[in-house]
Amino acid sequence: MASLKEIRNRITSVKSTMQITSAMKMVSAAKLKRAQDAIIQMRPYAEKMHEILGNLSATLDISSNAYAAERPVKKVLIIAVTSNRGLCGGFNNNILKRVNQLVNVDYASSNPSVLCLGKKAKDAYKKGIHYYINDAIAPVEDIFSALTFDNVSTIANDLMNRFVNKEFDKVVVVYNKFINAATQDVITEQILPIIKNEQVEGNKNAEYIFEPSKQEIVEDLIPKSLKIQLFKALLDSNAAENGARMTAMHKATDNANELQKTLTISYNKARQAAITNEILEIVGGAEALNS
């Protein structure tokens, strides 16, 4: 059995850990509220933009648009969206598993490259992985420290230019979609080329007054829609990360609390045993003196 000092040290260590996890849980809860508000406000706008673009493109031939060009897929770019920090359960591992599946199976014959948005993805792929692409595309390593539409637009513009210049024939993004604080879904979404004449929800026969022409509006909407699509994916991932971390820290705090109770019981038992042994030694010594 461990000594009383060892048990006391373990109790102190567990208490310190519990304080840290409890504080991290509260911080994540505060961040989650802001991140959740941001993605909830963005989704209706992104969905309406997608609906309008779908309604327009369904009546137009957009194959001539540079961002809709379909060609033999010889080079694929996979955007892996992870967090910069850990302690969020399986949040990052789920993304890395999906990316590895795409690289090694789905796009194995298409010379895949990986663009890492988040330090955890970069750490996973920067050593000895032939399909890792350097973050020279944009200063994306700390994108989540300044997650704004302008910063995401910089990345999206660079990706669109590289697609037009045929550096990549297809671009997909892998991210965690925020469902609630305890649930995230890993989503694989095609960014480029845009999916033509996609069936969208809503009234496809809706009447619009166009100024200027349909074609000009579509040409202007497509780049903006691509930027919004990427921005929404990052907002989703940011909210999902904070939800996953809050849940993980909540479980860790509960586990630490249970461990503290168990160690306290063990400490009390060991202390009682030590006291009993001392009493027996005193009684035994007294009897020896009397004999």
Instruction: Tell me which of 7, 62, 68, 88 is the catalytic residue.
Output: 88
Residue 189's beta-bridge partner residues? 173
Q: Is 88 annotated as catalytic? A: yes
Cβ contact 159:191 at 8 Å:
yes
68 in Cβ contact with 190 (< 8 Å): no
Which residue is associated with the tokens 């660079």? 158
Half-sphere exposure of 173 (CA within 13 A, CB side): 24
Compute the radius of gyration of the chain from its Cα atoms. 28
**Secondary structure E strands in 52-169:** 76-81, 113-117
178 pairs with which residues across the strands? 184
Long-range contacts, stretch 105-112, CB < 8 angstroms, 24+ apart: 107/73, 107/76, 107/78, 110/73, 110/74, 110/75, 110/76, 110/169, 110/170, 111/74, 111/75, 111/76, 112/76, 112/77, 112/78
Q: How far apart are CA 219 and CA 100, in angstroms?
A: 35
Element holding 237 (H helix, E strand): helix 214-290
Q: Please list the active-site residues.
A: 88
